[in-house]
Amino acid sequence: MKNGTLSDHLYGSEYDPLPWKQRLKICIDAARGLHYLHTRVKPAIIHSDVKSSNILLDYNLVGKLSDFGLSKMCLQLSCFSTSKALEKVDSVVKGSNGCLDPEHLKDGGLSKESDVYSFGVVLFEVLCARKVFDPTLDEDERHLVDWVRRCIGRGTIYNIIDPYLKGKIAPGCFRRFMDLAYYCTCLEGNTWPEMDEVVLMLKLALEMQENADSEMKNLDPHGDCMYGEISYVHPCSWS
């Protein structure tokens, strides 16, 4: 693709940092792609390797899902059941370190919710602009999701977001985005949202950002849209 991968734009490349609203739009593009695979394709398809390096960006920075080498078709009728306990497809554990959902790692069962968990990891990548696993960091910071969990519990998540984004995310948008990423990456699969909910929440987050920017421009048409530090502690504790 013309503009490489999403990961190319987040770390370790010559690209300029992506603006926050552009990042949200790319997340929406990818979420729509997953929703299509899960609900519109018959039989449904589980991507099973969702990560930022598998989201390609075209000339207009529209996100496209790629790399279906590990994908699975839900041939069983139970894959269309509303019971998450019945949706799993037996699969050898494969995928990228740090992006696999805990239930898949535990029992090898692959489900559409496995894609949801991996997509939640991508959301944290987008916010923090750092790799899912970075062996060059201190031990307690190497795994992105674990590090984010601890920072949420301490109320210090704002400290580890991409420095380029600080002051540029509206408080309401930030909290909506964090709520979504939180639920996508919970350790228990019964809390994970469906991809249509993910798309809706991302669209709401983008709308909140656009409304906040518009209000700020009305107050100061020639100024930058800058926001203060935002606190975030989720009311539910991580397990």
Q: Tell me: pLDDT of 208 over 70.
A: yes
Instruction: Classify domain 6-73+95-219 at the CATH superfamily level.
Output: Transferase(Phosphotransferase) domain 1 (1.10.510.10)
Amino acid at 154: R
Q: How much is the average pLDDT of 24-44?
A: 95
Measured CA to CA, the distance from residue 63 to residue 108 in angstroms comes to 29
pLDDT-wise least confident of 75-84, 198-207, 209-218:
75-84
Q: How much is the average pLDDT of 196-203?
A: 97
Q: Tell me: pLDDT of 210 over 90.
A: yes
The one catalytic residue among 8, 29, 49, 107: 49
Q: How much is the average pLDDT of 38-53?
A: 92
pLDDT at residue 138 in the model: 92
pLDDT at residue 97 in the model: 52
Q: In terms of Cα–Cα distance, which of 5, 208, 37, 239 is closest to 126? A: 5
Q: Tell me: pLDDT of 95 over 50.
A: no
Tokens encoding 90: 């037996």
Residue 72, beta-bridge partner list: 46
Give whichever of 67-76, 143-152, 216-225 has the largest mean pLDDT. Answer: 143-152
Rounded alpha-carbon distances, angstroms, from residue 200 to 12, 171, 174, 228: 31, 18, 15, 26
pTM (predicted TM-score):
0.86
| Contact in structure between 79 and 45 (CB atoms under 8 Å) | no
| Contact in structure between 115 and 50 (CB atoms under 8 Å) | yes
Tokens encoding 184: 């996508």
pLDDT at residue 186 in the model: 86
Residue 64, beta-bridge partner list: 56
Q: Tell me: pLDDT of 214 over 50.
A: yes
Q: Tell me: pLDDT of 195 over 90.
A: yes
101-158 tens-digit pLDDT: 454 444 556 888 889 999 999 999 999 999 999 999 999 899 999 999 899 988 899 9
Q: In terms of Cα–Cα distance, which of 151, 172, 176, 153 is closest to 161? A: 151
205 SS3 class: helix
What are the residues whose beta carbons fall under 8 Å from the beta carbon of 146, sequence distance 6 or more? 140
49 is catalytic: yes
Q: Which residue has the higher pLDDT, 224 or 187?
A: 224
pLDDT at residue 86 in the model: 37
Q: What are phi and psi of 133, to 5 degrees?
A: -135, 125
Q: How much is the average pLDDT of 33-60?
A: 94
